[in-house]
Amino acid sequence: MGISQRYCSALGFFLLISVGAWAENPHHPSPVFHAFWFEAQHGGGSEGGITDIELDGWIGGDTHKLWLKTDIKQHKGALQESEFWAMYSRNVSEFWDFQTGIRLDTQPDSTGYYTLGVSGLAPYFLKTQAHLFVSDYGHITARLKQSTHLLVTQRVGIEPYYRLEMAAQRVARQALGRGLTNGRLGVRFKYEITRELSPYVDIRYDWKFGGTSSIANNNDERRDHFTLSLGVALMF
């Protein structure tokens, strides 16, 4: 069975889990809601023109959800990175969901991952997503993302954030070293036209760590870069 067939089958499995969970009490089914966040930004910096498009959200009830996510990055007009996620998400405490599912990357390398992680609100109102990935080649990687929202006025807000990525071993096919591989530190300045519509300015710094940095240096690639972007966030 090829990658696409295998992961389509897995997606169907998680869909069945979610639907079954929602219907676990047919006499008193929980209401089905949804919440999605769409973001698109374009900018440039030391790497040249960059466009980022992200869709993140869920369908389900208070306890059981189907969580979907898409993350696409273009560099100088060419598709550079693309991720497609589908996870079963179960609420396990007041502010936390346990998640398991799949992630399929089509760029820069066609790879599928089984995914395990948590999503929720850490102390000091830190929005947190932490996930472990096991690829169909047996490689283990992880990603941690945290952000917070600070109000300046009723409409103006500041969102500092960071992202860290790790690998349990060297992944030559993706030019990753062992240990911490990539980091991102950024801040967004947002203006809420409405609760559902917010344009923003994003400033971020990306860099590579350790073995990954050495691999980039050997390949005559940049090990860090700044990006300034204009974007818009929609909630529906």
The pLDDT score that the predictor gives to residue 114 is: 97
Specify the higher pLDDT residue, 15 or 215: 215
Beta strands in 76-218 (DSSP E): 78-93, 96-107, 111-122, 126-135, 140-147, 150-151, 156-167, 179-191, 197-208
Burial 196-227 (b: 16+ CB within 10 A, else e): eebebebebbbbbbebbbebbeeeeeeeeeeb
pLDDT band at 1 (very low <50, low <70, confident <90, very high): very low
Q: What is the DSSP letter of 77?
A: T
Residues 6+ apart with CB under 8 A from 138: none
The pLDDT score that the predictor gives to residue 187 is: 98
Give the H/E segment covering residue 6: helix 3-22
- Classify strands 96-107 and 126-135 as parallel, antiparallel or unpaired: unpaired
Q: What is the pLDDT of residues 178-201, one digit of tens each?
A: 999 999 999 999 999 999 999 999
Alpha carbon 116 to its chain centroid, in Å, reads 13
Q: What is the pLDDT of residues 62-91, one digit of tens each?
A: 899 999 999 999 988 899 999 999 999 999
Backbone angles phi, psi at 10, to 5 degrees: -65, -40
